[in-house]
Amino acid sequence: MINVTKTYLPPLAEYVAYLEGIWERTLVTNNGPLVVELEEKLKSYLGVKHLFFVANGTVALQIAFKALALRGEVITTPFSYVATTSSIAWEGCQPIYVDIHPQTLCLDATLLERAITAETTAVVATHVYGNPCEVEAIQVLADKYGLQVIYDAAHAFGVQHRGQSILNFGNVSALSFHATKLFHTGEGGAIVTDDDELAFKLGYMVNFGHNGPERFWGLGINGKNSELHAAMGLCVLPNVAELIRCRQALSNLYDQLLEGRGLAKPVISAETTYNYAYYPVLFPDEEKLLAVMTALREQQVFSRRYFYPALTDLPYVRPQQAPVAQSVASRVLCLPLAHDLAPATVQQIAATVINCL
């Protein structure tokens, strides 16, 4: 069986060595030495100033929204995983959708200004499939109208824009370290910012607001992650460059095999250092997409409609239209991509796709 993605698991002996240290210290949580080590290594690897290792990517978004005191209307993308919108609604804000760019599939910055009202407090945009948003254009409008900018960077681990980490744009970026991600800790996430004052606030908010064992700086929740998860991250991190290399080679093979078949892919700027997190393809219509999914499933190959449906149809969001996102959501399919996927399997998948077109 071939799934759309596959978790990279490091050599078991490497993980066990970290576990032995945890057993010796009997310190499993509460900002242990492995969590501290992982945070420092991630800051160095990613080229960011402040990073907080948290329980998951959704918690990362929710804490970021709370720290920035979002209220009222929050402009966001209708083409993302549901957590992007649900976290906004969870914090009592009203998600306002701006449609996506038909080539990048990220929020279309040219449509942003017309959606801004007196009630708008922030923009929450997603680097879809790790493809950077129009960060400069978004920031110009954010500065003009006094808006906070938060990026859902769940797919964007290691991505660079114009030579620097994509995580350094906006007020905050939220990462996911779920087991299906390029870099993972089994379950986990991170909050990234270059703002010292905001970092101080985030630092206590992830730990119940504590200022020592008996005092509190302010409001907080339990956003911490454990030594067990940090150990996994410390095992995975040294292998990320090789994982990207493998995924890039397989993506290039897909490109060669599917070229000229009437399929489209998100356009990645030449100014982007990409991470090959996913291999999405856009079909001419939903009928062909469904035919491909069915044919692959018969071979025990499982693709994924990522993201489907568009978030405009969520029952807890005011009805809105986003024709580009709705069209893309009905036609985009992520084909299997993993570090150890055999080239012969890629050829098999591509042949199945071609036969259905």
What confidence score (pLDDT) does residue 175 get?
A: 98
Q: Alpha-carbon distance 1 to 22, whole Å? A: 35
Regarding the domain with residue range 240-356, which homologous superfamily does it belong to in the CATH classification? Aspartate Aminotransferase, domain 1 (3.90.1150.10)
Q: Alpha-carbon distance 38 to 235, whole Å? A: 10
What confidence score (pLDDT) does residue 248 get?
A: 98
Domains of the chain, by residue range, sit at 12-238, 240-356
What confidence score (pLDDT) does residue 40 get?
A: 98
Q: Give the angle subtended at the CA of 26 by the CAs of 19 and 7, to the nearest 5°.
A: 30
Selection from 300, 168, 141, 137 nearest residue 151 by Cα: 168
Selection from 183, 309, 161 nearest residue 175 by Cα: 183
Cβ atoms of residues 84 and 93 within 8 Å:
no
What confidence score (pLDDT) does residue 283 get?
A: 98
Low-confidence ranges of the chain (pLDDT < 50): none
What confidence score (pLDDT) does residue 114 get?
A: 97
Selection from 151, 149, 237 nearest residue 188 by Cα: 237
Q: Alpha-carbon distance 70 to 146, whole Å? A: 12
What confidence score (pLDDT) does residue 194 get?
A: 98
What confidence score (pLDDT) does residue 3 get?
A: 97
Over residues 47-102, the pLDDT tens digits come to 999 999 999 999 999 999 999 999 999 999 999 999 999 999 999 999 999 999 99
12-238, which class in CATH? alpha beta
pTM value is: 0.97
Over residues 228-268, the pLDDT tens digits come to 999 999 999 999 999 999 999 999 999 999 999 999 999 99
What confidence score (pLDDT) does residue 304 get?
A: 98
What confidence score (pLDDT) does residue 277 get?
A: 96
Selection from 208, 173, 271 nearest residue 31 by Cα: 208
Cβ atoms of residues 52 and 203 within 8 Å:
yes
What confidence score (pLDDT) does residue 344 get?
A: 98
What confidence score (pLDDT) does residue 141 get?
A: 98
What confidence score (pLDDT) does residue 203 get?
A: 97
What confidence score (pLDDT) does residue 73 get?
A: 98
The pair of structure tokens assigned to 63 is 């804490």
What confidence score (pLDDT) does residue 272 get?
A: 98
Q: Supply the mean pLDDT for the chain.
A: 97
